[in-house]
């Protein structure tokens, strides 16, 4: 079943990139992915070095700059 992958980080771009690679190696059905910085609002709650992942089967294709309607 095709899935889409989203990875967020605070600021930990190397850890986020590594996670994307590892998820794609183990979950071959990933059709698209996006990696973003969590930003200051969430970052102040989770702290430096945090990395999060979202995997969905019912999501629209991921593109930068798209917004939920």
pLDDT single digits (tens) 25-52: 999 999 989 999 988 898 899 999 999 9
Q: What phi, psi does 7 have (nearest 5°)?
A: -125, 130
This prediction has a pTM of 0.79
Choose among 35, 30, 39: nearest CA to 11: 39
Three-state DSSP state, 60: coil
Judge whether 32 and 62 are in contact, CB under 8 Å: yes
Confidence of residue 69 (pLDDT cuts 50, 70, 90): very low
């Amino acid at each position: 079943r095709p899935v889409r992958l989203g990875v967020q980080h605070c600021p930990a771009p190397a850890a986020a990139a590594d996670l994307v690679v590892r998820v794609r190696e183990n979950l071959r059905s990933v059709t698209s992915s996006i990696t973003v910085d969590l930003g200051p609002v969430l970052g102040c709650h989770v702290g430096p070095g945090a990395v999060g992942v979202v995997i969905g089967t019912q999501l629209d294709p991921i593109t930068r700059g798209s917004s939920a309607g």
